[in-house]
Amino acid sequence: MIAMPKPDKSILRRRDAIVRELARLVGAEQVISDEDGRRAFETDGLSAYRCMPLAVVLARSTEDVRKVLSYAHANGIKVVARGAGTSLSGGALPTEDAIVLGLSRMNRVLAVDYENRTARVEVGITNLGISAAVAPKGFFYAPDPSSQLACSLGGNIAFNSGGAHCLKYGVTTNNVLGLKIVMVDGEVIEIGGDYLDQPGYDLLGLLVGSEGQLGVVTEATVRILRQAEGARPLLLGFDSSEAAGRAVSAIIAAGVIPVAIEFMDKPAIEVCEAFAKAGYPLDVEALLIVEVEGSEEEISDLLGRIVEVVTPHGPRVVRMSESAEQSAAIWKGRKSAFGAIGRIADYLCMDGTIPLGRMPEVLVRISEICAGYGLRVANIFHAGDGNLHPLILFNANDPDEMVKAEKCGADILKLCVEVGGCLTGEHGVGVEKRDLMPVQFTDAELALQMSIKSALDPQWLLNPAKVFPLGGAPSADAA
């Protein structure tokens, strides 16, 4: 298990006074201090880790956030901002001495400007909530993490979330134009706006993906795009992952950039098919879901090109979706993969990214690593952009297996770095990969990143014990 810092006992002792003060600042109905109420906030999508927070504040406005941060800053109290709590890396895991600042009630659409192709929203809105708000006029918000029904934009901003369709449309950082952010001392700052390219340094670039380490974002201006006329997925089944990998290369070499290219190996196919009845072929070792967009004629043209260039790589199955229902089922299978696998076993979901050319070799080595620990693995992969999601299956009721699964996951991530990739493509470092950061970065690089943290959050009060090794925090050994 990954170590969490010892709580600051002086804060714990002041708990009742802190709760009273929070209630005075934002109103008692927005503060949760009872044990049952707080329990709902003790974990996130990385549910093996749990910790009851000091108190929970459910903010309704930037002003609430400002008040809580000003107070916490003045009193040296840590704060964990939280959206929907779907982080897979423990990004919203509280500590015992921290206030959880819940933003999910801040979920309004503030303005939609179709002509300028932007939407201004509060960040507690769900990812899908943005697209739903603009869909009647034929627009959408592009990044589409699998958890988009539940996850909040604030979390997407914190983790620079991607999704299956980011091959064409980019990830969160490519789709955010402006942010309202509350700094740790309560100062409210506007960055960017409804225009392209902010003035001065690229603070949007720094803040998106900073995992709540530098400030609390409360509002955002995002790009909205007009929906394509249509979209259709194609299923391609192969006898080996090598052949599937070569097919992906061939598609891109032909100058075709599909909106998505998803890969599943045999264990993943079987589980997802049992769950979603998507019509996935069961007699193949590797499956690609390739989606293209456009008018009917354009889709036929693009799918024709794709079939032509992958044919030399020997696909055993080539199946185009024939209806909207079939397309929906194909995507339902993929997007519910984590849930489907969760029905057959507990799992740890890894999130490394690798250069596509190394995929076959990496998949073989992942199998070997997992076999070495006596664990099974199912692989799901955003093949277009090299983002790998091996799901390591284990039994959470067996403490030994939990330890084995974590070690196995760490070995897989080290492999990703070794072949030229990285520890995390979209789930973030959080608690989960915090101690692996030295695998990817030198001490000097980590020190530079931590000095930015210190410059914007000198007491390290924001989202403690995430991203950086514990020794980096100024008061890590206190208490």
Partner 1 sequence: MDEPSQLRPATEWELQRLLTEATKTDMPIEIVGAGSKRNIGRPTNSSALLTTSALSGIRLYEPTELVMSARSGTSLARIEADLASQGQTLAFEPVDLAPVIGAEAGRATIGSVFATNISGSRRMMTGAARDHLLGVSAVSGQGTPFRSGGRVMKNVTGLDLARTIAGSWGTLAVMTEVTFKVMPKPEETATLIFLGLEDGIAIEALTAATTTPFEVSGAVHLQEALAARLWHEGLKAEKRSVTAIRIENFAASVAYRTDRLKDELKPFGDIYVLGNDSALAFWDELRQLSILQGTTAPLWRISTAPKAGPKVVAAISTFMTCHAWYDWAGGLVWAEVLPTSDAGAADIRRVIATHGGHATLIRAEPGVRSSIDVFQPLEPGLKKITTRLKTVFDPARILNRGRMHADL
Shortest distance (Å) from residue 245 CB to partner 1: 10
Which residue, 214 or 276, is less far from partner 1 as judged by CB? 214
How far, in Å, are 78, 90, 96 from residue 18 at the CA level?
12, 25, 13
Shortest distance (Å) from residue 301 CB to partner 1: 5
Q: Determine, following the binding rule CB under 8 A, whether residue 279 of this chain makes contact with partner 1.
A: no
Shortest distance (Å) from residue 413 CB to partner 1: 10
Residues from 432 through 461 that contact partner 1 (CB under 8 A): 433, 437, 440-442, 444-446, 448-449, 451-453, 455-456
Shortest distance (Å) from residue 348 CB to partner 1: 18
Shortest distance (Å) from residue 402 CB to partner 1: 24
Are 90 and 189 a contacting pair, CB within 8 Å?
A: no
Chain position carrying tokens 């004629």: 297
Shortest distance (Å) from residue 344 CB to partner 1: 27
Shortest distance (Å) from residue 165 CB to partner 1: 12
Q: What is the 3-state secondary structure (H, E, C) of the chain?
A: CCCCCCCCHHHHHCHHHHHHHHHHHHCHHHEECCHHHHHCCCCCCCCCCCCCCCEEEECCCHHHHHHHHHHHHHHCCEEEEECCCCCCCCCCCCCCCEEEEECCCCCCEEEEECCCCEEEEECCCEHHHHHHHHHHHCEECCCCCCCCCCCEHHHHHHHCCCCCCHHHHCCHHHCEEEEEEECCCCCEEEEECCCCCCCCCCHHHHHCCCCCCCCEEEEEEEECEECCCCEEEEEEEECCHHHHHHHHHHHHHCCCCCCEEEEEEHHHHHHHHHHHCCCCCCCCCEEEEEEEECCHHHHHHHHHHHHHHHHHHCCCEEEECCCHHHHHHHHHHHHCHHHHHHHHCEEEECCCECCHHHHHHHHHHHHHHHHHCCCEEEEEEECCCCEEEEEEEECCCCHHHHHHHHHHHHHHHHHHHHCCCECCCCCCCCCCCHHHHHHHCCHHHHHHHHHHHHHHCCCCCECCCCCCCHHHCCCCCCC
DSSP at 239: S
Residues from 224 through 253 that contact partner 1 (CB under 8 A): 226-229, 248-250, 252-253
Nearest to 317 by CA among 359, 292, 291, 285: 285
Shortest distance (Å) from residue 401 CB to partner 1: 27
Which residue, 237 or 386, is less far from partner 1 as judged by CB? 386
- Candidate list 129, 209, 333, 464; residue touching partner 1; CB under 8 A: 209
Residues from 382 through 401 that contact partner 1 (CB under 8 A): 382, 384-387
- Candidate list 16, 34, 301, 322; residue touching partner 1; CB under 8 A: 301
Q: How many CB atoms lie within 10 A of CB 173?
A: 19
* Site size toward partner 1, by CB under 8 A: 95
Which residue, 85 or 421, is less far from partner 1 as judged by CB? 421
Which residue, 43 or 89, is less far from partner 1 as judged by CB? 89
Which residue, 23 or 203, is less far from partner 1 as judged by CB? 203
Which residue, 51 or 158, is less far from partner 1 as judged by CB? 158
- Candidate list 48, 135, 422, 476; residue touching partner 1; CB under 8 A: 422
What phi, psi does 188 have (nearest 5°)?
Answer: -100, 125
Shortest distance (Å) from residue 295 CB to partner 1: 6
Shortest distance (Å) from residue 32 CB to partner 1: 30
Residues from 3 through 62 that contact partner 1 (CB under 8 A): none
Which residue, 395 or 451, is less far from partner 1 as judged by CB? 451
Residues from 91 through 130 that contact partner 1 (CB under 8 A): 113-118
Which residue, 11 or 462, is less far from partner 1 as judged by CB? 462
Which residue, 197 or 400, is less far from partner 1 as judged by CB? 197
- Candidate list 146, 424, 463, 466; residue touching partner 1; CB under 8 A: 424
Residues from 310 through 369 that contact partner 1 (CB under 8 A): 353-357
Which residue, 57 or 303, is less far from partner 1 as judged by CB? 303
- Angle between helical axes of 241-253 and 359-372 (0-180°, round to 10): 150
Per-residue x/- track, 168-207, partner 1 (CB under 8 A) = --xx-xx--------x---xxxxx-xxxxxxxxxxxxxx-
Shortest distance (Å) from residue 183 CB to partner 1: 8
User: What's the CA gap between 35 and 39, in Å, rounded?
Assistant: 6
- Candidate list 10, 75, 295, 395; residue touching partner 1; CB under 8 A: 295
**Residue span binding partner 1 (CB under 8 A) among the ranges 74-82, 372-380, 395-403, 415-423:** 415-423
